[in-house]
Structure 1
């Protein structure tokens, strides 16, 4: 699949913003001319997959203006005015588990069309993607060794067959990213708006990390992860393993957590998948990365937690499902959450880390996707409270409204994993229920120094702005 250019954020200083543009072209099609201010930019060949070459252009634009770059006959404006008012978008859950690529494009990308129209009127300075950028669950159909994943993993295979599996999965991931990235409204926004992305389970496969150890540790599963990780680096970060030490907080690449700063705001994204097991969310490398990310932050911190950091007492539901053997899938889905009984100590550690950021003088806002609903929450703190905003998903179909109402009723039980810091789930501005069952995306803005957030909902439209 051909797509691109897709802009990836690399960082900024007082003079320039560094960017990368990634694209996929058929092997016989060399890249067209790429230039900034009539100065040509040479491409870097990142990989070749299934008859396609993945290319990257590294370049810089001057800050403080609407700058431009050119590719072929097209010129793309990029708003680099970061010091004053700021517009940041947040999206998640861009797909569905089954049949995503067969959906009617107009229906599938309805909210992307809405976002693109908004970006045309008021350009975003940055787009955050909070997980499940693609739904790759069906890539396992690409090869006989994974066709019955994860229920039937054969031990009867050769190294050559494992390598053949890897190449088949690489092609399947490319095809899936290509279909998603070449959609007209997505492509229009992403060629003009730099992105920062963090993966979640569906970028690998449903429930990755919450599956049983005998599945995750199997050579076939590790081959699946290897292909998914390469695709994450290539298509979400315009990177290869050689770039990992420069782009991510963990030099070894076991954790792919990152932090980037804009004037007045630090954006931190822990990696909640690479080291995940049924009994932990992050390993030693991930926690070390988190420790380094939370030093010397800006006055505002946006914490991208791919699964919601603040939530209701899901451990009660988990106990019920486990005790009465209710559908195993739901039990695994609950195991994926910070609120799982298996992760409570680790959840407390992360919440304390957030409170430590407040002690540095930062105001912290957590943003999350994953649950296919829109909601918000507040954790009490001496500094005024930590807010969480959940926007999920931009193209995943909304669950039934009865599900949202039931979860909202359950949320009234409250939760306080840290003594003295209760968590409260709250409706979106202008909404009456704690959870909104509509496709959605989130908008941040810093306007005259004041930070606000607004949800764009498929049926209800834009919410009133919420002061953060």
Structure 2
């Protein structure tokens, strides 16, 4: 992998659209040069599926096949190539969860084998015991360097010029489209990842690095500037294309809010509901979600016996508001304000955090709720009690982002010992992973969840320590 390498072909990449006891619906995305002929048809039992051209951006054509596979079908054929897929969503099933696939600086120049070592392990596991779904919890790319080498955005996000020339702004949009597309193409085409994306349908939610570091927690004048809005607009377009296989025309069918102001979503499987609130599209320094997101959250009703929430930022965490107070009092530490303001636990979001926790407790009335999250580049877990309404949170981060020092994880673990209880009678505790001594593990990692005979368990896959013992998710012991 190198920033000098030009990738102009990608796919197929599967996106999960829906499923029930008899079938699953998916979209397969293929990206090719604008001058190339259309890709081959996809063949499934019901017939031949021709590709649909949904967009042309940055010299690339985005082709999509929309198709259904019967529960006993087991895969699809593209041209002469066969791609196995788990198509039976009843009974036992396995889900993989990943986040933080990249780094802020020099990510495209990293050695591919080193960068993708955890992806290679996931691929090996998938070949032995296939996954039905790949959940991607945010920061699927690190787009922070995409703004470089253009005069309007060279100093972003520290500075944005006022009243830029319209031609220069149009030039910036083209520049960003090319840079975002190049980043997605290189990262998604990595050899060990290509087979995963072609055979495991994905469900993704974005986080700040899919836009830029700290999006929404930056000063308001930067977010609302014409440069800031150009960055967001292009990031959103590329998120829809590469991570959802979609354009604005598909939004009413795929997301909570038909206007697209919030890109949260819900999918119902046999026996399980998975949902992901969008914590970036409406975010500003005071609010994590706006009216569109909260309307959808208030109306959400799980249909499965188990509910999985994907929160790009950990929902259950330590008393970061105390740390925020201390750091803001130290001038040289104030540049971390945006990072702390990104968290649910920030002083700025305390009331909104309580509102979301109450919503999750409401969902808990229908059955067990598991929150999965990434973002912090560490592995950990948390519980919110009491036992009769326990909520489990599993944090797996990141699959390719290198871990911070172990000393950082130890200090955060000591801080977490202070405890937190934003809702009276529902204390939050940060706990060790099964088999681990400390609350936070500073190793690259990903998470797997498995349903067997109706019961869910989870395991963390840690770069140095290996696979943890299984953690029961529908057991009320905490």
TM-score range, shorter chain: over 0.9
- SS at 2:430's partner residue? strand
Q: Give the paired residue count.
A: 465
User: Which residue does the alignment assign to 2:53?
Assistant: 45
Q: In structure 2, what is the Cα distance between the partners aligned to 1:41 and 1:143?
A: 41
Q: In structure 2, what is the Cα distance between the partners aligned to 1:434 and 1:66?
A: 43
Tell me the CA shift for residue 185 of structure 1: 1.3
Residues 31-430 of structure 1: matches in 2 within 5 Å? 31-37=38-44, 39-63=47-71, 65=72, 67-292=74-299, 294-359=300-365, 361-381=366-386, 383-430=388-435
Q: In structure 2, what is the Cα distance between the partners aligned to 1:35 and 1:297?
A: 32
Q: In structure 1, what is the Cα distance between the partners aligned to 2:325 and 2:91?
A: 49
Tell me the CA shift for residue 384 of structure 1: 4.2
- SS at 1:8's partner residue? strand
Q: In structure 2, what is the Cα distance between the partners aligned to 1:20 and 1:103?
A: 31
Q: In structure 1, what is the Cα distance between the partners aligned to 2:238 and 2:335?
A: 26
Q: Deviations over 1:312-337 (max 9, x none)?
A: 00001100111122333322111000
Q: In structure 2, what is the Cα distance between the partners aligned to 1:55 and 1:142?
A: 30
Matched, 1:30 2:26: no
Structure 1's 9 and 446: CA in aligned 2 closer, same or farther, altered over 3 A?
Answer: same
Candidates 438, 441, 445, aligned match of 1:440: 445
- SS at 1:387's partner residue? strand
Q: In structure 1, what is the Cα distance between the partners aligned to 2:302 and 2:240?
A: 27
Could you list the runs of 5+ residues in structure 1 that have no partner in the other structure? none
Q: In structure 2, what is the Cα distance between the partners aligned to 1:51 and 1:420?
A: 56
8 Å Cα contact 1:136/1:173 also seen in 2:
yes
Q: Deviations over 1:193-219 (max 9, x none)?
A: 000000000000000000000100001
Q: In structure 1, what is the Cα distance between the partners aligned to 2:202 and 2:247?
A: 17
Tell me the CA shift for residue 72 of structure 1: 2.8
Q: In structure 1, what is the Cα distance between the partners aligned to 2:460 and 2:87?
A: 24
8 Å Cα contact 2:273/2:302 also seen in 1:
no
8 Å Cα contact 2:400/2:444 also seen in 1:
yes
Tell me the CA shift for residue 356 of structure 1: 0.6
- SS at 1:397's partner residue? coil
TM-score (normalised: structure 2):
0.95
Q: Deviations over 1:337-371 (max 9, x none)?
A: 00101100000000000111112x22100000000
Q: Deviations over 1:28-69 (max 9, x none)?
A: 222331222373211111211222111111111001x35221
- SS at 1:246's partner residue? helix
Tell me the CA shift for residue 260 of structure 1: 0.0
Q: In structure 2, what is the Cα distance between the partners aligned to 1:123 and 1:329?
A: 44
Q: In structure 2, what is the Cα distance between the partners aligned to 1:129 and 1:298?
A: 20
Tell me the CA shift for residue 461 of structure 1: 0.4
- SS at 2:348's partner residue? helix
- SS at 2:388's partner residue? coil
Q: In structure 2, what is the Cα distance between the partners aligned to 1:71 and 1:325?
A: 58
- Which of 394-403 and 322-331 deviates more? 322-331
* Structure 1 stretches of at least 4 aligned residues deviating more than 6 Å after TM superposition: none
- SS at 2:332's partner residue? coil
8 Å Cα contact 1:36/1:68 also seen in 2:
no
- SS at 1:80's partner residue? coil
Q: In structure 2, what is the Cα distance between the partners aligned to 1:235 and 1:396?
A: 20
- SS at 1:351's partner residue? helix
- SS at 2:252's partner residue? helix
Tell me the CA shift for residue 157 of structure 1: 2.1
Q: In structure 2, what is the Cα distance between the partners aligned to 1:249 and 1:436?
A: 34
Q: In structure 2, what is the Cα distance between the partners aligned to 1:263 and 1:414?
A: 36
Q: In structure 1, what is the Cα distance between the partners aligned to 2:73 and 2:460?
A: 26
Tell me the CA shift for residue 156 of structure 1: 4.7
8 Å Cα contact 2:371/2:394 also seen in 1:
yes
8 Å Cα contact 1:310/1:377 also seen in 2:
yes
Structure 1's 309 and 191: CA in aligned 2 closer, same or farther, altered over 3 A?
Answer: same
Task: Give the root-mean-square deviation of aligned CA atoms.
Answer: 1.2
- SS at 1:88's partner residue? strand
8 Å Cα contact 2:217/2:283 also seen in 1:
yes
